[in-house]
Chains A and B, each alone.
Chain A
Amino acid sequence: MSIDWYAFSPGSALAGGVFIGIAAAMFVLLNGRIAGISGILGGLLQPVRGDAAWRLAFILGLVAAPAAFLLAGPLPKAQIDAGWGTLVVAGLLVGVGTRYGSGCTSGHGVCGLSQLSPRSLAATAAFMGAGFLTVFVVRHLLGI
């Protein structure tokens, strides 16, 4: 292992993390809910009366974030190297996996770990471990 000092950005990472923490804090203290993005999105697919509006509002906020960011300055570019087929497979796996696993990086990784939940600790270890292993296989064994 060698650290990529050129890419490593501890300051902006920490600052962005604090924003994410504030969003999760605001959401649980005001709305009484976990800011888990896969759960909020997935809940839209099981329509319960009166339950869709707040979910849509949260998702809309996420999608509108780049437009809001533009008011402060130029938007950093997202570099998406994956091909179309890979993106479809990735999306299907992320969709099915986060619903069976009851959460993703936000729900388990941020909100769950903030409560030292053993369930979220197990889930985070599982998806991070699988992520590390997948990148190792793709980049270093298959050389893609």
Chain B
Amino acid sequence: MSVIVFSLLSGLVFGLGLIVSGMANPAKVLGFLDLAGHWDPSLAFVMAGAIAVGVVAFVVARRRTVSFLRQEMRVPTDRHIDRRLVGGSVLFGIGWGIAGFCPGPGLVALGMGEVKAAVFVLAMLAGMSAFELLERRSAKLQAA
């Protein structure tokens, strides 16, 4: 039960961070991605603030096999860089660049009651579903 409560709390604090930092606003994100225009470096400061805290947390997390709530520690250790990783990330970056939304801010803006954010989130879910279908198909083909 406490796992569910802390999931909710983590999502809430994450969302508050996106609002406070201005990153729930696509116009501000695009201001960061527009290097050749009037550049707004704010997003880099958001990353710096988050990573400064994250570094300490992950040093602790990596030394443990179970979390403080006795959950299995599921921290990825894969170091392999492949075409899926880079190709997928490039597609994501193009989508991010045309509208200024990545998954978190899309969900937060949905919570602001923005209809446009709802359209983005629905399309994102459709994209994720397409991925699932393609993965299942290729798993079937490999099994056959």
Contacts and interface: CB of A to CB of B under 8 A. Distances in A.
Do the two chains bind?
Answer: yes
Interface of A: 1-4, 7-10, 12-35, 37-38, 41-42, 45-46, 53-55, 57-69, 75-82, 84, 86-102, 104-106, 108-111, 113-115, 117-119, 122-124, 126-136, 138-140
Interface in B80-97: 80-81, 84-97
Interface of B: 2-28, 30-31, 33-58, 60-62, 66-69, 71-76, 78-81, 84-114, 116-117, 119-132
Contacts of A105: 96, 102-104
A18 B10 CA distance: 13
B123 A90 contact: yes
B19 A46 contact: no
A84 B4 contact: no
A42 to B, nearest CB: 5
Contacts of B40: 3-4, 7-8
B15 A61 contact: yes
Given A93-B92, A126-B86, 12 more contacts: A27-B6, A27-B10, A30-B69, A33-B71, A45-B125, A79-B27, A91-B99, A95-B128, A100-B87, A101-B85, A127-B90, A134-B96
B18 A20 contact: yes
Main secondary structure of the interface of A (DSSP, over half): helix
A138 to B, nearest CB: 6
Contacts of A132: 33, 35, 97
A139 B35 CA distance: 11
Contact of A96 (B9, B17, B127): B127
